[in-house]
Amino acid sequence: MRSLILIFIFCSSAVFAEVDTRQISSKPKEIYGTDHKNIGLTIANGGAGPTGILRALAEDYLEKSDAKYSIAWYQDISTNSLKHLKNGTIDVALVYEKSEGDVAQKEGWATNYAIIFNDHFLIVGPKKNPANLAESDSPTEAFLKISDFGKKNSGKIFLSRSDESGTNIKEKSIWRSAKLEPWSGNESWYFKYPTFPKTALLYVDQHELYSITDWGTWLSSKGSLKNSKIYLSGGEDLLNPCFALLGKKPRKEALEFLEYLKSPRAQKLIANFGKDKHGGLAFFTEAAQMDFK
């Protein structure tokens, strides 16, 4: 069976793997199913994979469909997934940056747009809170405070993944709303670290920095965090929807898996994922629900 390549974009110890997220992955991070030599679906994802949601969805789909193949997860950010889709080397992309998806559809090489679930961005920082962020701040106001503090102090203050991932694109949009572009200069307080979400968050915690991350990553890393807290969360400004795009001529297997992801069965799995391990807290909200209830 020709491998179906499927892209999921969604997006421990304090050991930081030197993985540059700007590079496209060439081999699977994990394989789900019993026959690892017969891979029929290939999933790529940057941030949601480490939470375990991809494993849960893949294993549920294999059981439901009685498929005789395995599913592989490739860890990639949204921008690289769309490059794969445009080149015809993948069949399905699940990405977070809608503007890039809109361009892909307009140019005719991406189809079958569908929201699959919602993740939620967070602005986090050290418990000491030297920049004096407040829960009543807007994202723009919080970033202005971080910038003002950074300009008056030496050393790293804010971590940017600086990799054109969905998280990095959201971060830049907030800076632009504050009429700032710290990535374009040599600001010592603005630390660029192109890596995956969990590694970035662990670094933020160890070095007591401010940053933007997502709820799924926070919840899956919470047991390892000692110095950080959430300052801003919730609302439309920090919504992080994950949506699917298929290629120009999608294969039958891709269409069937997409229908599963949109089904009540998969949506229920998404809405309940993590509740059994995190005191009733879910990692994501289903496609039709913006905020947690």
pLDDT at 73: 83
Tell me which residue has tokens 């110890």.
13
**196: Cβ–Cβ under 8 A, 6 or more apart, which residues?**
11, 19, 21, 46, 47, 50, 75
Q: d(Cα 255, Cα 233) in Å, to the nearest integer?
A: 34
- Strand 190-192 relative to strand 210-214: parallel, antiparallel, unpaired? unpaired
pLDDT digits (tens, 9 = 90+) for 78-103: 888 888 778 777 777 888 888 888 99
| Total-model pTM | 0.84
What would you report as the CA-atom Rg of the chain, rounded to the nearest whole angstrom?
A: 19
Helix (H, G, I), strand (E, B) or coil at 181: coil
Q: Do 14 and 224 meet the contact criterion of CB atoms below 8 Å apart?
A: yes
Closest CA to 81 of 67, 68, 65, 92: 92
Q: d(Cα 5, Cα 89) in Å, to the nearest integer?
A: 7
Give the tokens for residue 224.
């390892």
Residue 15's alpha-carbon distances to 214, 225, 264, in angstroms, are: 20, 13, 39
pLDDT digits (tens, 9 = 90+) for 9-50: 444 334 445 577 888 877 888 899 999 999 888 777 777 888
pLDDT digits (tens, 9 = 90+) for 118-176: 999 999 999 999 999 999 999 999 999 999 999 999 899 999 999 988 899 999 999 99
